[in-house]
Amino acid sequence: RKVVLATRNAGKIVEMRRILADAAVEVEIVGLDAFPEIDDVAETGLTFAENALLKAHAVAKESGLPAIADDSGLCVDALNGMPGIFSARWSGRHGDDEANLRLLLAQVSDVPDGHRGAHFACAAVLALPSGEERVAEGALRGVIVRAPRGTNGFGYDPIFVPEGESRTTAELSPGEKDAISHRGRAFRALAPLLPEMLG
């Protein structure tokens, strides 16, 4: 049984593979690099789930294989939920984690402690070439700190401290992050649905 990961984000690929392996999902996972002819799909949805569905269905249709997508981001209370679905391109430079994180830190620099709440959100989707789909979501609450700490993970991890933690998600071990993360929760919810879908 083969599944294509419908993402070009290296940080996500590492975590998705790790979480699915830990969930004992027995599939051969192939990357999008095996399909150089597949173009990026426009993420025109208004929610994480809509965008994950767009990506998974496009790749399933074009590759002819079941596809798994992740749409995720950081929703900051003081910014009315932004950057949210725009997290990967918040600075205007898609995938420039450092620029995105610096801009976000500057935007919340005047927000006092006690008002720096935020959550990571993830929608995980499996889509089949037939058009069948399954969706699962996960979230992780926390706060935005004032200066980056840690080198694990990717994206906004160095500035996010989960509720009940003192370390940023970039200071957690991979296993510690997966156990509580939005992505861990979404993909552990999706995992049990895979066997019957993949036949």
Q: Summarize the annotated binding site for substrate as residue ranges.
A: 7-12, 72, 154-157, 177, 182-183
- Per DSSP, the chain holds a count of helices (H) and strands (E) of 6, 6
- Work out how close the CB of 89 gets to ligand ITT at its nearest, in angstroms, rounded to a whole number: 7
Identify whether the C-beta of residue 112 lies closer than 8 Å to the C-beta of residue 181.
no
Instruction: Spell out the alpha helix ranges (H) of 70-193.
Output: 97-107, 174-180, 182-190
Task: Specify whether 178 is catalytic.
Answer: no
Is residue 100 a contact point for ligand ITT (CB under 6 A)? Answer: yes
User: Interface mask (CB under 6 A) for ligand ITT, residues 112-131, using x and -?
Assistant: --------x-----------
Give CA–CA dist 176/189, Å, rounded: 18
Sorted by sequence, the CB contacts under 8 Å of residue 45 that are 6+ apart come out as 51, 53, 54, 71, 85
Among 58, 63, 67, 71, binds ligand ITT (CB under 6 A): 71
- Work out how close the CB of 155 gets to ligand ITT at its nearest, in angstroms, rounded to a whole number: 2
Is residue 155 a contact point for ligand ITT (CB under 6 A)? Answer: yes
- Work out how close the CB of 125 gets to ligand ITT at its nearest, in angstroms, rounded to a whole number: 11
Q: Return the percent helix, strand and coil in the chain, to nearest 5.
A: 40, 20, 40
Among 153, 159, 161, 184, binds ligand ITT (CB under 6 A): 153
Which residue's Cβ has the minimum distance to ligand ITT?
155
Catalytic choice (22, 33, 39, 71): 71
Sorted by sequence, the CB contacts under 8 Å of residue 68 that are 6+ apart come out as 3, 4, 5, 6, 16, 56, 124, 125, 126, 190
* Subset of residues 44 to 63 that bind ligand ITT, contact rule: CB under 6 A: 55
Is residue 157 a contact point for ligand ITT (CB under 6 A)? Answer: yes
Among 116, 119, 134, 183, binds ligand ITT (CB under 6 A): 183
User: 174: cis peptide before it, omega within 30°?
Assistant: no
Cα dihedral value 71, 65, 30, 127, nearest 10: 20
Catalytic annotation, residues: 71
Interacting residues toward ligand ITT by CB under 6 A: 7-9, 12, 43, 55, 70-74, 87-88, 95, 97, 100, 120, 153-157, 181, 183
